[in-house]
Structure 1
């Protein structure tokens, strides 16, 4: 891991309907993310928060895409800021905010790699396109967008696209029918909760890193709803039967040991739905493990 970290908050709640997730970056800062990283010896530069467009009543939905213009404009700002962070030769760490923010994040990061790998740690696939989305919520589409699938205003934000063989989904347990079809068509590697239960997290991470061995860097996109709601109640789309706190720490510890992760984002923390900032505290603890925190 680089010893310089660039931190960016994305108070974005445009990609879904439940309000409050825009306070996620503040909750993680309050939970001490900067202090934890500095204690580990990192030089942290806080870029503050990206300016997020307001929701528009006039454009609440466009071709089954809610808040399309606002998401596009904000994603471009995210892309441009992350590009600055990379130019600063620091590890980009983003705090969110709903998962639609990944459209801008990956647009910037993919452009700086020849062969970027992505770990999508999430209960959901986020592989919907407008015609398959049951809600029109763009936070269910960012991975598809970065594969070049979906509305052109979204897919044009990033010039370079992800390769299906460079993606690994971990913790999946709520996939829409269109997502299941797309996963099979593209051959995307998925470790559902069934595989996690059968294999154990150590084997899942070993196979994940082997699958991405040919890549020149790994972006971790961790949605806190990947964990079980008992561990992380402060998320907008909780799904029972998720990953445990300890499994997730092990996953982060193994990623830290690999030295392969070059950027990361922790998303979908919603303090309004939380219990005494529990979910933000879990996020900060996992961030610390990803950056090498150890008991001994």
Structure 2
């Protein structure tokens, strides 16, 4: 047995405070398959003085390029601009429109935004929102012939169109900075094509410092841009396009042209490569002057890209999550995960969840290492909320790594999901019934809805016993055996699966679900064949059986998720069954 004793527990009713909290959470949760893209039209013009050309240009884009597009529109005043306040001309109008944009974004809670301006300050709310959403894991590519790096004090004109990029970095009018969702660090910014800079802006670029590429840099090599984005090492990009970055000889439809700009051919090539290689979550199309109705290929391409974020196919996600705290002070599964990372995984295709290595763990809420585990669960949830994968492959770590990935996939499948649970142990303890308080003995029971309320509240959904088929389970505590019997959980023993692999398939088909999630704790394998596991149990599956079952399942079901856990080998040569599991996980 994994544990020899257990403590019966009393279910404590949720307090009214927690009931209210849960109710709020249910309201906030939105199915990831609902619309998450926002096209935001904000034809703000006041930042450039009395000239309304960018307002009229924004209307032309909407009428000629986006006639059937669903838009959220910020109401922009067409009255003469308000007087100078706080060293900014038109301050009240700009603030009012910024608040409107923030309110509309907050209402929609989008994952991607296409902003159509308006002046070059029109996408400030969008940039700051997506920066907050990604927790700063975003590079801002700022295509502009100007720096936009003044403060209200350093600007001679007091026109706000010379200040948005500096304001986005938290340096500017205090009320405006606080109205934004977040501020960017200068290290997140790439200024591309700037060639009309004041001395104060040049000095700030040098001091901050901000990464800047000239037109000549970009026209010499598209790869130069891509290389510097890679060096930023952020998972997401936002592309801000002030059209005056283009050469006015090729594209004259801007209010403040600057000579010797980027050629359209080079610009479109850079844009194409950025979209191919990086995760684009935001795009701003700004500073367009009326062309008299002439259709332009560069505008059509930018609009296609911006609107395309709405229909972009959801990605598969490979996740490395080497959490070890669920097993107490033993870091064997952490070290095993790192060994997999080194020898088996192409980390360019994986997202790695950082885990705490401190060993000063304590029991809280009847869970050993609760504080650290809960913090890491929050990190995973934020990543899943942002990424919204359609299919998911997770490599652990201990088997408690499974909780959020599986609850997420059950949620996106709307419960139309069978779960194939390969594990030597039941993982069916609760925090109260577990003598050791190790979380690795609780994940399946947690997924079935019996855990501490703070963890339950983080989860996207819970399973029902009718969704689960347990295979190879042979080392259960009495409380786990009792739960299996009372809830009629389907268990197929290792001897049965070894003799009749088809029995597993039949049990899954009886569930009547379209989609399948596969949980593989390596200890399901007989330790005589595969000893690299932290809590071995005699008499498990043959590796040949596991291999055959994985092949059959991939042929018969739509596999949407797979999780491989509990590996502890260090320095071993390539192992065929691990390569097979990883190949399947990365191909779903």
Give the alignment's TM-score, normalised by structure 2. 0.44
The equivalent residue for 2:335 is 23
Matching residue of 1:53: 356
**1:153 Cα deviation (Å)?**
1.9
Shift of 1:3: 11
Report the secondary structure of 1:156's partner residue.
helix
Q: Which has the larger radius of gyration?
A: 2
1:241 Cα shift? 0.8
The corresponding residue for 1:39 is none
Q: CA RMSD in A?
A: 2.6
- Pick one of 372, 378, 383 that aligns with 1:81: 383
- Tell me the residue number matched to 2:394: 94
Give the CA deviation at 1:135. Answer: 1.7
After superposing the two structures, state which structure 1 stretch, 21-30 or 136-145, moved more.
21-30
Q: Compared with structure 1, are the counterparts of its residues 111 and 3 closer, same or farther at alpha carbon in structure 2 (3 Å cutoff)?
A: closer
Shift of 1:137: 0.8
> How has the CA–CA distance of structure 1 residues 235 and 283 changed in structure 2, closer, same or farther, with 3 Å as cutoff?
same
Equivalent residues of 1:66, 1:137 under 8 A apart? yes
1:71 aligned partner: 373
- Of the three residues 260, 266, 269, the one matched with 2:558 is 260
Structure 1 residues not aligned, in runs of 5+: 35-43
Give the structure 2 partner of residue 14 of structure 1: 325
Residue 132, structure 1, aligned to residue 433, structure 2: yes
Q: Distance in 2 between matches of 1:263 and 1:289?
A: 10
Structure 1 residue 21, shift from structure 2 partner:
1.0
- Match for residue 510 of structure 2? 211
Are the equivalent residues in 2 in contact too, given 1:103–1:154 (CA < 8 A)? no
Corresponding residue of 1:38: none
The structural deviation recorded for 1:180 is: 0.7
- Larger displacement relative to structure 2 (70-79 or 240-249): 70-79
What is the distance in 2 between the residues matched to 1:277 and 1:13?
23
How far off is 1:4 after superposition? 6.1
CA contact (8 A) 1:253 1:292 kept: no
Query: Would the aligned equivalents of 2:471 and 2:492 in 1 still touch at CA under 8 Å?
Result: yes
**1:33, distance to aligned residue in structure 2 (A):** 4.2
Distance in 2, Cα, partners of 1:267 & 1:74: 17
Superposition pairs of residues 222-261 of structure 1, within 5 angstroms: 222-261=520-559
CA shift, 1:230, in A, is 2.3
Q: Are 1:82 and 1:92, in contact at CA under 8 Å, matched by a contact in 2?
A: no
Matches of 2:530 and 2:315, distance apart in 1: 28
Give the SS at the match of 2:529: coil
Partner of 2:582: 287
Distance of 2:365 and 2:379 partners within structure 1: 23
1:260 Cα deviation from its structure 2 partner: 2.0
Q: Give, in whole Å, the separation in 1 of the partners of 2:579 and 2:385.
A: 24
Kept after mapping to 1: 8 A contact 2:380/2:404: yes
The CA deviation string for residues 4-42 of structure 1, in whole angstroms up to 9 with x for no partner, is 6421101110100322211333322333344xxxxxxxx
- 2:236 match: none
TM-score for both structures, normalised by structure 1: 0.83
Cα distance, 1:170–1:53 mapped onto 2, change above 3 Å: same
Alpha-carbon deviation of 1:170? 0.5
Aligned residue pairs: how many? 274
Provide the residue aligned with 2:344 in structure 1. 32
State the partner residue of 1:37.
none
Aligned to 2:32: none
Aligned partner of residue 80 in structure 1, secondary structure: helix
Q: Which runs of 5+ in 2 are unaligned?
A: 1-312
Q: Which has the higher contact order (CA 8 A, sep 6+)?
A: 1
Residue 159 of structure 1 and its aligned partner are, at CA, apart by 3.8
Q: Tell me, yes or no, if the aligned pair for 1:25 and 1:96 is still in contact at 8 Å.
A: yes
Q: Are the equivalent residues in 2 in contact too, given 1:14–1:55 (CA < 8 A)?
A: no
Residues 95-244 of structure 1 mapped to structure 2, 5 A cutoff = 95-115=395-415, 116-197=417-498, 199-201=499-501, 203-212=502-511, 214-244=512-542
State the SS of the aligned residue for 1:26: helix
Distance 2:493 2:435 in 1: 21
